[in-house]
Structure 1
Amino acid sequence: MSYRSGREAFMHGVRTLLPLTPGVIPFGLVTGYMAVQMGMSPGTSIGMTLLFYSGSAQMVALQLLHTGALPVTIVVTALIINLRFIMYSASLAPYVHHLPRRWTWPMAYLLSDQSYALCVLKFASGELGRFAHHFYAGTAISMWLAWQLSVVAGIYLGASIPQSWSLGFAIPLSFLALLIPGLRSMASLGAALVGGVLAVLAINLPYNLGLVTASIGGVIAGLVIESLRKPRVHDASVSGAEGQAQ
């Protein structure tokens, strides 16, 4: 897709992200409600959300605060949970390294699972053209606003939300919506399967290490499958060349 302006790319990013917000809002409502239930003031809860911008890390940090864990334990745990963003950043870096800091620094802060999943394949294919970072900004800012507003709603309205709504069920559904379109090769399919199996087997690991284990295992599986497929393509091309020579 070729954009005529950065504004057009930005708005397309916003529209692309919007269908994913129903899966994010329940997570934010639960996070905001949980913060208030643990004794945090609305102002502190909102400040924490602005600082963290990571739902899973924020929820674990709230639980550790509630149990009286040491500050260093809370910080280290949050860092471990967010290790996946290092992998996200590394894969996006080749496409944004040329941008000035006024772009790269906000992009780093606004990075999320949803924005990454929507943008990484489009960045790699080059279909977004020279306005690719505007498309990213549209998805990232929309995601940030949806998260912040849903947490604020959870802080002030969480107690009035019936438990029968089962809000937590919408969270995994949103991630499935991101995963399925990305399964475009044997390598990505293998990575998803291995990562999913490891996530189930390692679910009881402390400090949410199961997620990190599954992420690393999935990446390794994808790389191994990709490396096994490449020689076959090379051999086929060599055989074809030899046949033409004969």
Structure 2
Amino acid sequence: MSADAGPSLAEALAPRIAWLVNRRAAVFAGMRAVAPMVAAVMPFGVTAGVAGLDAGLGLDLTMALSVIVFAGASQLAALQLIDAGAASTLVVATALLINLRMVMYSAHLAPYFRHLPVRWRAPMAYLLTDQAYALTVTRVMSDEPLPANHWFYLGAALPLWVFWQLSTGFGYWAGTALPPSWELGFIVPLIFLALLVPAVNSRPSLIAAVVGGGGAVLGQGLPAGLGLTLGALAGIAAGVIAEGVLRRD
């Protein structure tokens, strides 16, 4: 063979093979990282299904809401407002307010994925969750960044989406299979209490919880579910004010 002969087939394919290996390794790394978290989010998906049934949405609308919104606390809050007869604009505004943290997550991750085309960035934005963000940002900000981070993100985010939809559907089905006399609507407030208790870890958060909960109870008779929303806004304001006052002290 002459010295100026071109590269062999193996040499030509080596970069492609390395890319495929890195992609596969990144996807499975993401799936392994998120696996312990999947079991933790499934009860919330089941609760979302039960809440959709309790709100009278029907299976189609419950699953459509789950697919479109795909956000635990935001989805449950929206269902609670729908069940309370709130205006649609209020439901949408509340869901967006609860999900504002996703804007910060996106801004933090954007520099690491700005090189990707829109066909990648659009589904990544849709699949963004607390868990996917936490796992991915740890990987991309490591001292020795690993390759194929967007494939890692996919491996971490997609299983959460799949199991969320399955658990939501199961929750709706389980609710229809049980006797109506069981009144499963109480599960949703219990889930919110389970989220609330660990978050009350300081005096400002305690003040916010008391003011928000008290405001929601006092405003229970207001039309269009305004009591729940006004209570939440009052709790947020009280927490911010309390934190500022206590910080000065």
Identity of aligned residues (%): 37
Change beyond 3 A, Cα 1:135–1:211: farther
Match of 2:131 in 1: 114
Match of 2:48 in 1: 31
- How far off its partner does 1:113 sit? 0.8
SS in 2 for 1:88: helix
RMSD of aligned residue pairs (Cα, Å): 3.4
- How far off its partner does 1:55 sit? 1.6
Match of 2:15 in 1: none
Change beyond 3 A, Cα 1:109–1:22: same
The answer as to 2:208 corresponding to 1:202 is yes
TM-score when normalising by structure 2? 0.68
Gaps of 5+ in 1: 177-192, 219-246
Match of 2:158 in 1: 141
Letter in 1 for 2:206: V
For residues 69 and 29 of structure 1, the distance between their equivalents in structure 2, rounded to whole angstroms, comes to 23
For residues 205 and 239 of structure 2, the distance between their equivalents in structure 1, rounded to whole angstroms, comes to 5
| Alignment size in residue pairs | 196
- Give the 5 Å matches for 1:96-115: 96-115=113-132
Change beyond 3 A, Cα 1:128–1:10: farther
Q: Looking at both structures, which has the greater relative contact order when contacts are Cα pairs under 8 Å and sequence separation is at least 6?
A: 1
For residues 212 and 110 of structure 1, the distance between their equivalents in structure 2, rounded to whole angstroms, comes to 30
Match of 2:90 in 1: 73
Contact (CA 8 Å) 2:54, 2:83: kept in 1 or not?
A: no
Report the structure number with the largest CA radius of gyration: 2
- How far off its partner does 1:129 sit? 2.1
TM-score when normalising by structure 1? 0.68
- Give the 5 Å matches for 1:1-246: 4-125=21-142, 127-158=144-175, 168=191, 172=195, 196-197=201-202, 198-203=204-209, 204-205=211-212, 207=229, 208-209=232-233
For residues 57 and 63 of structure 1, the distance between their equivalents in structure 2, rounded to whole angstroms, comes to 10
Change beyond 3 A, Cα 1:212–1:32: farther
Gaps of 5+ in 2: 1-19, 213-227, 244-249
